[in-house]
Amino acid sequence: MESLNREFEFKGGYLNGFLMIFIDIVLWILTVFCFVAAIIASEIGHSFGYLIVLAVLLLIASIICCCGFSMLEPNQAKVMTFFGRYVGTFRKTGFYWLNPFMSVKNVSLRARNLNAEPIKVNDKTGNPILIGLVVVWRLKDTYKAIFDIDTDVSNTAGAQVGNSATARMNKFEKFVAVQSDSALREVAGMYAYDNEDTKEEETITLRSGATEINDVLTDKLNERLTMAGLEVMEARINYLAYAPEIAAVMLRRQQAAAIITAREKIVDGAVSMVKMALDKLSEEGVVALDEDKKATMVSNLLVVLCADEPAQPVINSGNV
């Protein structure tokens, strides 16, 4: 059963980033002013302790203000936690200042492609085949994606600890790849490669039922990825072939089936033409043929029409 949606929008405070830049500049100016005033007061013998304290407080405030700037582009989000407690997902695009004491995990909500390499599986009839797929997916539920599966990127080389959206999305992509492999194996085992064995034209096969099978594959993937807060927008088979060990045999089989089908059409056409010729000769009275001559004519016409090579007629010039 799908768990309840525990994701919600961040309700905490935030300020415009450009406003905070101005405020931070003012704080730095006041900090420098207080330090300079303390030095001057010490030289003329006035009390300067309160100026030092004020300068230190202003310095701390200035440093804190420098740490909270954040910029967010469309279809990106920040998962906010405050000392380990989830406090919401921030999705507002633009330049903002957020509480620097909050932990931020960046994620991308944009659609991504996964082009899986073909894998060898057995179809419903047991034939080994090579099948591959392409998946279009995106992150849907940020809470599940961050907290229900392992996406720790703290050991990722070159990534900011806990804050690399690229490294985190690569983790998601690996998760999708593993689940895609499992779903593809399951779906491939539910259908035959083709219906040459069953001769049932209505049967859905991997070759003929692309639309139906893609829908089933999408549903199977969504069942597996829902727990991770991921959504498959489209999944389709992009590679399908017999495994190398039986490919040559299956090719000859397909060629034989094609030859039989072609022969059936040739015979049907030849019989139709012979019947038309006999009816035409009888209707117009061109020649009177008994049953033996009709049989001979039918045999000759069928040989001519069904032969693979051009016929070489023998002309009867009469008795010598």
146, containing H or E segment: helix 142-147
CA distances (Å), 306 to each of 114, 115, 257, 270, 274, in order?
Answer: 51, 48, 18, 7, 11
State whether residue 19 is helix, strand or coil.
helix
The CB-based long-range contact list for 261-270 (8 Å cut-off, 24+ gap) reads: 263/306, 266/305, 266/306, 267/306, 269/305, 270/301, 270/302, 270/305, 270/306
In the numeric block, which tokens belong to residue 192?
Answer: 């035959």
Two structure tokens written together for 16: 């415009």
Query: Full-prediction pTM beyond 0.85?
Result: no
| 36-40, 156-160, 266-270, 280-284: segment of lowest average pLDDT | 156-160
Do the beta carbons of residue 145 and residue 151 sit within 8 Å? yes
Q: What is the pLDDT of residue 134?
A: 93
Q: How far apart are CA 81 and CA 148, in angstroms?
A: 15
On the question of pLDDT at 136 being above 90, the answer is: yes
Rounded to whole angstroms, the Cα distance separating 169 from 174 reads 9
Q: Tell me which of 39-48, 63-72, 260-269, 297-306 is least confident.
A: 297-306
